[in-house]
Structure 1
Amino acid sequence: MTQIRSLFATRLYRAQLSEHGPAIDNDELEASCYSIAEDDEAGQEWCENNGYPGYTSYASLTDLGWRFPIFADLIKALDQHVAAFAKDLEFDLGDKGLVLEDIWINILPPGGTHSSHIHPHSVISGTTYVAMPEGAAALKLEDPRLQMMMAAPTRIKGAREELRPFIYEATQPGDVLLWESWLRHEVPMNMAEEDNRISVSFNYKWE
């Protein structure tokens, strides 16, 4: 009897941030992102020197949870989402846990992109979305097997989601996405006409 199964699943976690942890006021979170960006001269300089469109605190600030109470509440919520995802992934964590390694703000202006990348040395990575204006880019996720499909034909239009080489995950403010850190992803061009795409990204490590 013929059997066809799907093996080696790549899991993607999606939820409303509000499903776990303290209530987060999205307007306050957005205002805090802009306030931090305005004051972070080191981050602004890094973005300018590295050709990063808009603003990111990735290379400049490591204390968002201390700097603004709303980020402390955000981290408490993210800890619970990550715990739920780790349970789904059936990780054997032993006597260690998954703990926040870093968290940073991304403000992507119209026309800005964030090229394809992974998050080495982390276990779970993710993003929660603060402002997603009309036309803002969806997160683009790449099939991790793609580099080994040298001679494979393309998939038919409308192929099952599990067989597509790329998945575009459109989000709304208040959504949180989690994935294993080896999953390659990018943000295509922000096609919003005027407004910024704002998100907060993070990594969790095993220790």
Structure 2
Amino acid sequence: MAQIDSLFVTRLYRASLSEHGPKIDAQEMENSCIAIAEDDEAGQDWCEEHGYPGYTSYASLTDLPWRFPIFKDLVDSLDAHVAAFAEDLELNLDGRKLVLEDLWINILPEGGTHASHIHPHSVISGTTYVSMPEGASALKLEDPRHAMMMAHPPRNSDCRQELRTFVYQSPKVGDVLLWESFIRHEVPLNMAEEERISVSFNYRWE
């Protein structure tokens, strides 16, 4: 009988943020994100200049855990989640650690999108979800081999998840998703009337 194995597996980590580290109050986190966005004039200017829908602190604030205790608690939780994922990936860290490189807020309004991209200088990337109103965009993840499938026929629409070219994840408030940073991902059109709020981050090998 023929043997068919699955090779070159792509792992996706999904858990409740509360499984590790300090308890994070969801309403306090949402209020903090909104307050920061309202006060961050440099971030607002960057978004307007670059045509970024809504708001991101990516290019303006690099010290959220230092400024706001709730973000310090968030990092403590994320450190534990990332360590658990690194263990699952069987990464040989050679006695070193994966450490937070950057952490930023995303507020996406109705009709907003975030184009497909990767995080090339990091090891693990991820997002935790602060507000996901009904109709809010899923996270779209792309098979990293996709660019090399030049003459490849499409998959059946009902094929197994591990064979799909694109996988959509619809997280809940309080979820954290982690993936290896070479995985291309995007946020499709936000159909919710209310804002979709998340906090994204990268971890590098120290």
Normalising by structure 1, report the TM-score.
0.99
How many angstroms does 1:157 deviate by? 1.8
Which residue number corresponds to residue 205 of structure 2?
206
The one-letter code of the counterpart of 1:144 is: P
Please say if 1:108 is aligned against 2:108: yes
How far apart, in 2, do the equivalents of 1:54 and 1:152 lie?
37
**Secondary structure of 2:203's aligned partner:** strand
The alpha carbon displacement at 1:95 in A equals 2.1
Amino acid at match of 1:200: V
2:134 equivalent in structure 1: 134
CA RMSD of the aligned region, Å?
Answer: 0.5
Gaps of 5+ in 1: none
Moved >6 Å (runs of 4+): none
Aligned residue pairs, count: 206
Given the two structures, how large is their TM-score scaled by the length of structure 2? 0.99
- 1:44-193 to structure 2, matched below 5 A, reads 44-192=44-192
Deviations 1:66-105 (A, max 9, x none): 1110000000000000000000000000121100000000
Instruction: Tell me the SS of whatever aligns to 1:76.
Output: helix
- Partner of 2:202, secondary structure, is strand
Q: Provide the C-alpha distance between the structure 2 equivalents of 1:144 and 1:55, rounded to a whole number of angstroms.
A: 28
CA distance in 2, matches of 1:49, 1:105: 18
Residue identity (%):
74
Instruction: Tell me which amino acid in the other structure corresponds to 1:197.
Output: R
